Amino acid sequence: VFVVFSFTSVVDLIISLEEDGYISGFVEVYVREGEPYLRTAHGIMICYWDGIIHYGLYLAMIAAIGQRKSYRNLGLFWLGSLMMSIVVFLLGNLIGKYSSDLSPAFLLNLPYVLIPIWAGVRLFQQPKALPCLSPEKVAEEQRKHLYQRPQDMGLVLVLFLTAAFTFFRGMVVLDCPADSCFEYIYQHEPYLRDPVAYPKVQMLIYMFYVLPFFCLCIYGLVLPGCSWLPDWSLVFAGAIAQAQFSHLGSSLHARTPFPYQTPEDVWWSFLLTNVLYALGPQLLAYRCLRCPAFFLPA
C-alpha cells in the first residue's frame, strides 16, 4: 500500500511543480482534460502536501516495517492527514464550480477513500507501545488536579480559544448576518467566498467534526484515564496540519482569483491566527505521547 501511494505522491509533486511553472511537459494534458480542478490553488497545495509530507511518511513507515519497528504513530498521523485531504477535495469537487467538469478520471480518487479506511482499521488493531511506568507513578499523575498541571492548563486554554474560532468561522461560511461575520469574510478571509467551495467545505468539517473533538480533548485533559485521547490526538493533528497548510497556501496563492485572496494589510494577523490554529493539536499530540501516564487506564 505504501509503495503504491509513494508513486502517486511523486506524481502529485510533479503536478504541483508543473502548475507553478517550475517544470513543464509532464502532466499538462492529463490535468487539463482529466482533472482540471487540480489546477486550482487548493489542488496545487494538496499536491504539494502529498508529494512532500505524505511521501516522507510513506518512506518512514516502509523503513519501520523493514526494520520490524512500530509505525503505528506515524500511520495514525498519516491517516488523519490523508482522510481530511480527500474528503475536502471530493466534496469541493462535487458542489463547487467544477462539479459540471467531472470526468471518469474522478473515480481515480476512490481508492484514496477505501484503502485508508482499511489501513486505519489495521492501525488501530495494532498493539500500543506501553510505557514503562509503575502503577504508583500512574496513580500519582492521575491524582493531580488541573491547576497542578500548568502545561495542561495552557493546552485547555488554547483548545478553548481554537474551538471558539472554529465555531466563528463555521458561522461565517453559513452566512451569519452578524456584522463581525460580514466584516471577517470580506476584510480578513475573502477566500472563504471562493466558488471552488473547498474553503467552505473545510470550515463546515471543522465546525461539525473538529469542534466536538476539541471539546472532548478538554474533557480528556481534565479527567484522567481517557485512553482514547493519545491515538485520536495524532489522527486529528495530521488532519488539521494538512487542512491548515492547504487553506493558508490557497488563500495566498496567485492561482486564487484576486477578489478572494487575503488582503496584504491583514497578512500577519491571518498567518498568526491560522498557524496558531494548526499548532494547538500538534502540541496536544506531543503532550499525549511524551507524558502518557495521565491517560492510561487507572
How far is it, in rounded angstroms, from Cα 124 to Cα 162?
Answer: 27
Residue found by looking up cell 484522567 in the block: 224
> What is the pLDDT, as a whole number, of residue 280?
95
- pLDDT the model gives residue 47: 95
> Which cell goes with 273?
491566527
Grid coordinates representing 129? 507501545
Mean pLDDT by 10 residues, the chain (298 residues): 91 94 87 86 96 96 94 96 95 86 78 89 88 83 89 95 96 93 94 94 96 96 92 96 96 93 92 95 94 86
- For residue 34, the model assigns a pLDDT of 81
Report the distance separating Cα 91 and Cα 99, nearest Å.
10
Q: How far is CA 13 from CA 9, 18, 52, 113, 171, in A?
A: 6, 8, 7, 20, 34
Helices (H), the chain: 2-19, 28-33, 41-49, 55-66, 72-95, 111-125, 135-142, 150-173, 179-187, 198-205, 211-222, 229-252, 267-290
Let me know how long the chain is.
Answer: 298
Q: How far is CA 23 from CA 28, 245, 257, in A?
A: 10, 22, 23
